[in-house]
Chains A and B, each alone.
Chain A
């Protein structure tokens, strides 16, 4: 009993020390080039009633100073051999007004992902992973019914979620073995929190703009890493 308690205290201390010496990676993703205009979603009458203006595709969502939203920024390399606890808190993907929210999100392997239907109409929830180990499922979800639960044991960027009832509904989930990821906000800003000191390859992955990587050395202070993603057609 004493040994167990001692080990527990040591683990807690180690975690505290690690957190104390961890730092954040912050930055901004900027879009270079002029993106093609977004297209209106072909909503059916039932979904149309849920909107006052016609929603559009979310291929390139930009904000202040061309900040690019929905970029999945994560540590691609530098964590080999390290293992990380699976968060007990579940991530949430909502279906609201016939759209998946958020459009891009992150998740750790084996972490629970709850999919909610906040709409007054039914959806089918259809993740279509392609990496071995992650299972494709297709489940009906009635209005306001219980959240559906998913987990993915293998890393995969991105697992695509779709609704076949409303074939314009998509969400993209980046699944990693570690918790060091972020999704850029409406102005392109991101923050990867509590990264242990080390040398890392950080990748910014935008579904249509592609991937950009850079080397980042994390010490005890917050590190800044900005990225520029180019519009695919201008390449």
Chain B
């Protein structure tokens, strides 16, 4: 069992993970509504100290972008506390290191967000969007490592069977990450939907990409948000996103089927089942995003579920690794055993 202090640490980690997911959601709203540049300066907001910007001025796109900045600051504060807490209260060296990495990542992520605004570079936005997903995975992993399950799991299974299944989970999770990078690229090019129909693309299985066709596609785009012109590479990226989505669906189904033949703790089983449901939901939201002409709420939900899908994949891989304990590095085993022997007394307040 976790000590009282460890329980509070884990609750705090949970809270930090939830706040990070909210932040990703708000970031998703900002890009979905196309208001990322509504506040042209950084770190100030229209010349004000960010925290003193008058509420009366939180109008239009400023509301979303400014809220994103404030929530990001809050997540930065939470991460700093979490890193310090781990540093002083967790005797596992690698956990302390994870806390330090999280701290530097959140600072870097904040600076990236600011540079996206001041340098006006979409490439920075893509990196910012991708790093957000990875940061969320890290906070989820820290939360998981702080849990009673991680510290005290005693379940033993057919290691060989799990080892043979593990690559499938790793590959699927890696492809989800690739898919999220492509998704971030699509969102941060601010061109709206590169392909407006589904399941076909401009009425064909593979759209024409010659200049005349592209000109016609752009003329037919009549969105209130009047996005910039769509280009051939953007259409190819969109089609790749669809193609990879099918691959992820198939791989997740295979992983789910594979997990049915494994002896796994109930918690891991639940993770795998909910993962499969998340991927199904995500595919549905992807289709809905196209059919709704990229409605901001649906597109944002697509971002949030995408982040959860990646984090779930990472947690499953970590959990499988934990079940086949002997694969965990000796140093790590030793530290965890030491922790269990002490019963957490060393970390009591």
Chain A residues within 8 Å of B, Cβ to Cβ: 36, 39, 41-42, 44, 46-47, 57, 59, 121-122, 124, 126, 128, 130, 136, 138-140, 160, 162, 164-168, 170, 207-210, 232-233, 235
A28 to B60, CA, bound (A): 38
Q: Assuming the A-B contacts A59-B222, A126-B37, are A46 and B120 also in contact, with contact meaning beta carbons closer than 8 angstroms in the complex?
A: no
User: Is the pair A165, B220 in contact by a Cβ cutoff of 8 Å?
Assistant: no
User: Is the pair A140, B40 in contact by a Cβ cutoff of 8 Å?
Assistant: yes
Q: Assuming the A-B contacts A165-B35, A167-B61, are A36 and B222 also in contact, with contact meaning beta carbons closer than 8 angstroms in the complex?
A: yes
Question: Inside 8 A of A128's CB, which chain B residues have their CB?
Answer: 228
User: Is the pair A42, B224 in contact by a Cβ cutoff of 8 Å?
Assistant: yes
A160 to B34, CA, bound (A): 15
Question: Inside 8 A of B225's CB, which chain A residues have their CB?
Answer: 167-168
Interface string of B11-39 (1 = CB under 8 A from A): 00000000000000000000001111111
Considering the complex, give the chain B residue whose CB is closest to the CB of A167.
Answer: B34
Question: Inside 8 A of A208's CB, which chain B residues have their CB?
Answer: 219-220, 222
A42 to B34, CA, bound (A): 13
Q: Interface size of B by Cβ–Cβ distance < 8 Å?
A: 28
User: Is the pair B59, A165 in contact by a Cβ cutoff of 8 Å?
Assistant: yes
User: Is the pair A139, B40 in contact by a Cβ cutoff of 8 Å?
Assistant: yes
Tell me if B62 counts as interface (CB < 8 A to partner A): yes
Q: Assuming the A-B contacts A138-B120, A233-B220, are A170 and B226 also in contact, with contact meaning beta carbons closer than 8 angstroms in the complex?
A: yes
Q: Assuming the A-B contacts A138-B40, A164-B36, A232-B219, are A46 and B224 also in contact, with contact meaning beta carbons closer than 8 angstroms in the complex?
A: no
Tell me if B206 counts as interface (CB < 8 A to partner A): no
A122 to B228, CA, bound (A): 23
Other than the given A130-B228, A138-B37, 17 more pairs (CB < 8 A) read: A39-B222, A41-B224, A46-B60, A121-B59, A124-B38, A140-B40, A140-B47, A162-B226, A164-B61, A166-B60, A167-B35, A167-B60, A208-B222, A209-B219, A210-B215, A210-B219, A235-B216
B contact patch SS: loop
User: Is the pair A140, B59 in contact by a Cβ cutoff of 8 Å?
Assistant: no
Question: How far apart are B302's CB and chain A's nearest CB, in angstroms?
Answer: 19
Considering the complex, give the chain B residue whose CB is closest to the CB of A135.
Answer: B120
Q: Which of A121, A165, A209 has the most CB of B within 10 A?
A: A165
A contact patch SS: loop
Question: Inside 8 A of B46's CB, which chain A residues have their CB?
Answer: 122, 140
Query: Which single member of A39, A124, A138 contacts B224 (CB below 8 Å)?
Result: A39
Question: Inside 8 A of A167's CB, which chain B residues have their CB?
Answer: 33-35, 38, 60-61, 225
Considering the complex, give the chain B residue whose CB is closest to the CB of A231.
Answer: B219
Question: Inside 8 A of B35's CB, which chain A residues have their CB?
Answer: 164-165, 167
User: Is the pair B60, A165 in contact by a Cβ cutoff of 8 Å?
Assistant: yes
Question: How far apart are B117's CB and chain A's nearest CB, in angstroms?
Answer: 8
Question: How far apart are B225's CB and chain A's nearest CB, in angstroms?
Answer: 6
Considering the complex, give the chain B residue whose CB is closest to the CB of A44.
Answer: B60
Considering the complex, give the chain B residue whose CB is closest to the CB of A209.
Answer: B219
What are 7 residue pairs bridging A and B, where the CB atoms are less than 8 Å apart in the complex? A164-B34, A164-B61, A165-B38, A167-B38, A167-B60, A208-B222, A232-B220
Tell me if B123 counts as interface (CB < 8 A to partner A): no
Considering the complex, give the chain A residue whose CB is closest to the CB of B221.
Answer: A208
A116 to B148, CA, bound (A): 61
User: Is the pair B120, A122 in contact by a Cβ cutoff of 8 Å?
Assistant: no
Question: How far apart are A82's CB and chain B's nearest CB, in angstroms?
Answer: 29
Q: Which of B50-76 contact A (CB under 8 A)?
A: 57, 59-62, 65
Considering the complex, give the chain A residue whose CB is closest to the CB of B119.
Answer: A136
Q: Assuming the A-B contacts A128-B228, A164-B35, are A57 and B120 also in contact, with contact meaning beta carbons closer than 8 angstroms in the complex?
A: no
Tell me if B331 counts as interface (CB < 8 A to partner A): no
A124 to B61, CA, bound (A): 10
Question: Inside 8 A of B39's CB, which chain A residues have their CB?
Answer: 124
User: Is the pair B59, A46 in contact by a Cβ cutoff of 8 Å?
Assistant: yes
Question: Inside 8 A of B224's CB, which chain A residues have their CB?
Answer: 39, 41-42, 57, 168
Question: Inside 8 A of A166's CB, which chain B residues have their CB?
Answer: 60-61
Q: Assuming the A-B contacts A126-B37, A235-B216, are A165 and B61 also in contact, with contact meaning beta carbons closer than 8 angstroms in the complex?
A: yes
Question: How far apart are B230's CB and chain A's nearest CB, in angstroms?
Answer: 13
Considering the complex, give the chain A residue whose CB is closest to the CB of B190.
Answer: A128
A36 to B221, CA, bound (A): 11
Q: Which of A164, A168, A209 has the most CB of B within 10 A?
A: A164
Tell me if B327 counts as interface (CB < 8 A to partner A): no
User: Is the pair B222, A165 in contact by a Cβ cutoff of 8 Å?
Assistant: no
Question: Inside 8 A of B222's CB, which chain A residues have their CB?
Answer: 36, 39, 57, 59, 208
